A and B are shown apart, each in its own frame.
Chain A
Amino acid sequence: MIQPPSLLLEPEACGLLVQALENCGKKSFGGVDALVAALRAGEPWAHSLFRYALAQELGLYLNRICPNIRRVYVYGSTMDDRAGPSSDVDLILWVREKVPALESLLWKLDALLLHGYRMLTGFSGPPMFFDFHIVDDAEVAERQGYGAVIHSLWTAPVPLQLPEEARNRERTSLT
């Protein structure tokens, strides 16, 4: 199901971090240096925006390599600018079916991203940078566990933007 990435994950993780820093820095801080300074100062706004940018890059990457993923959602402190240096990022991955290889990939990626985050900011960070909740079609249809959250009126996690080809794939698969 997953196209083989794992031996070369370190550069991939590094690429995600760099891209997130560039996008977020350019968008909201006038440059990467200002963003890094704000992160090191522990600014909640900077930590929320950076986490969201990194989640966005991770979502795009996972969509590229793993057609099994329908959508990636983010919610919690990242969305309401409560994130601090020790906050994790709550992600829900809606997949067609659960496969162990995906979990393994996520664990490895997370460890690498957390390492990068520590080097970048000087903070030890949370035990896991991303708190992944994987739900499959059946759980979403039956509104089981985090499957109930996807279409929640009250919690309403935000779906990460998809590249055009993934959006087309999603449209095709849902019709």
Chain B
Amino acid sequence: MGVLGFLLEVVDVIHEGKGPAAQALQAMEANPYEMFKTQVRLAGQKLGLPADLLKIIETPERVLEVSVPVKMDDGRIEVFLGYRVQHSSARGPCKGGIRYHPAVTVDEVKALAGWMTLKCAVVDIPFGGGKGGIVCDPAGLSEGELERLTRRYTAMILPLIGPSRDIPAPDVNTNAKIMNWFMDTATVLRGEPMYAIVTGKDVAVGGARGRREATGRGVMIVTQEVLARLGKDLRGATVAVQGFGNVGSVAALLLHQAGAKVVGVADISGGLYHPSGLNIPELVEHVARSPRHVIAGYAAPGVVPIPAEEVLTLDVDVLIPAALEGQITERNAPRIKAQVIVEGANGPTTPEADVILEERGCIVVPDILANAGGVVVSYFEWVQNLQYFFWDEAETTARLAQIMRRAFQDVWNLAQAEKVSLRIAAQMLALARVAEAIRLRGLFP
């Protein structure tokens, strides 16, 4: 069965609900961990990996559930539920964020930890995957309550984490401030500096320079790489970017500086189009000045406002969806004209749309590779913290480019060799690397 048939079968079972794979895939909406296991199984079968090895990879190494009692401002004690999942340490210490959200579930955390294992493996950094979460409504907490919650949660999971074991990071509703508290708590309890126990901190307490731009920079680098493989020059290539936040605006600016013509951009406030290319530095400045940090209100000669959704279907060489997931669907995929799609956001293309794009010969650089710049710079932060030796931004940029280029080359080569899409190649490559590490280490005892 060809790749297209494989993908069609996946989509078919989602719709029709036939067979065991169908049941697992239908569960994905309700249960992301089922989706993760299905992905591992399907990619593993393509690699010809034995079922018992896949079983090891599907299953997290450790799942820790903790109760986190916190004294609230009104004197009550509230007990929160927290998790830390270490999916795999086969390739190195576990790495992954901590989220604060009322709907956190253990299966969601298990799935996200598994995806971190694959993401770190694709870019070949020496980390496994982990994830954590606390079931809470962070905005309903005062700053004091949030700090006490963070510090107690840190203390509860501290026996399992550490610079050589498991390194958390920010995720949904957590930020540098929370990571600073995390590091400080670990430092106090262990009695020694613990900068490397967590990444995503402020620069003054061991954070990495260039972290904010890292994901967008990674997107630009893989765009450059994919165009080069197609024999096209980035100079003069036309680009459309959906989303103008940390990822989209940085990618657009760097592509503009490299000579690409960014002809269309969109964010929540609308879209802008200029057939000869927008003045991206000016637009970035406008967004920084605008009270809501949006592109609305920007005007320049030749710039035409367009509905935000139209940016996806502009006649361009490269489309960069860098906003939200689920934006490229079976409805708009047939109208997408870009030959190359670089997924700056997580999951911007639905599985149904993926099939349509492949049929039409579009090359999709998958999210697991395209937006991995962030985790690569987290790796740099950890390395610098371990060495107490801090790099300047130029060094971060150069090393990021080196890792992203090598990762792209590896995925591209596998896709060519196996005649599969870059998405499937990335999953296969990641899985093969994890499987190889498990095989080489052997099974204890």
Q: How far is the CB of A166 from chain B (nearest CB, A)?
A: 15
State the interface size on chain B (CB cutoff 8 A). Answer: 35
Task: Give chain A's interface secondary structure class.
Answer: loop
Q: Which of A52, A88, A159 contacts B102 (CB 8 A)?
A: A159
Residues of A within 8 A of B73 (CB): 27-28
Smallest CB separation, A174 vs chain B (Å):
12
Q: Tell yes or no: A65 within 8 A of B by CB.
A: no
Determine if B12 is an interface residue (Cβ-Cβ < 8 Å): no
**Do residues A158 and B101 form an inter-chain contact, with CB atoms below 8 A?**
yes
CB–CB B139/A49 < 8 A: yes
B345-378 contacts to A (CB < 8 Å): 345-347, 350
Closest to A142 in B: B329
Kindly specify which of A7-15, A72-80, A102-110 makes contact with the partner chain: A72-80
Task: Please give the number of chain A residues whose Cβ is less than 8 angstroms from any Cβ of chain B in the complex.
Answer: 37
CB-nearest residue of chain B relative to A86? B291
- The reply on B268 being an interface residue by CB < 8 A is yes
Pick from B111, B138, B292, B327 the residue with the most CB of A within 10 Å: B292
A170 contacts partner chain B, Cβ-Cβ < 8 Å: no
State how many angstroms separate the Cβ of A61 from the closest Cβ of chain B.
Answer: 17
What is the CB-to-nearest-CB distance from B219 to chain A, in angstroms, rounded to a whole number? 15
The 0/1 profile, CB within 8 Å of B marked 1, for residues 131-172 of chain A is 100000000001111111101111110110100000000000
**Bound form: Cα–Cα A81–B345 in Å:** 22
A-contact bits for B317-333, CB 8 A (1 contact / 0 none):
00000001111010100
A93 to B99, CA, bound (A): 23
Q: Which residue of A is nearest B101, CB measured?
A: A156
Q: How far is the CA of A26 from the CA of B44 in the complex (A)?
A: 55
- Give a binary string over B251-281; 1 marks a CB under 8 Å from any A CB, 0 the rest: 0000000000000000010000000000000
Complex Cα spacing A124 to B177, Å: 28
B20 interfacial by beta-carbon distance below 8 Å: no
Enumerate B121-166 residues with CB–CB distance to A below 8 Å.
Answer: 137-140, 142-143
Q: A48-B139, A49-B139, A161-B137 are in contact. Are A154 and B346 (CB under 8 A)?
A: yes
B32 to chain A: which residues have CB within 8 Å?
153
| Alpha-carbon distance between A148 and B309 when the two chains are bound, in angstroms | 14
Which among A79, A151, A158 has the greatest number of chain B C-beta atoms within 10 A? A158
Asked if B416 is at the interface of the complex by the 8 Å CB criterion, the answer is no
| A–B complex contacts, Cβ < 8 Å, 13 sampled | A52-B139, A79-B138, A80-B175, A81-B177, A88-B292, A131-B268, A131-B292, A143-B329, A148-B324, A153-B112, A155-B325, A158-B138, A159-B103
List the 7 closest pairs (A to B, CB-CB), nearest first.
A148-B326, A86-B291, A28-B142, A52-B139, A143-B326, A154-B346, A156-B172
6 more contacts with CB within 8 A, not counting A153-B111, A156-B99, are A27-B73, A52-B139, A145-B327, A149-B325, A151-B29, A152-B326
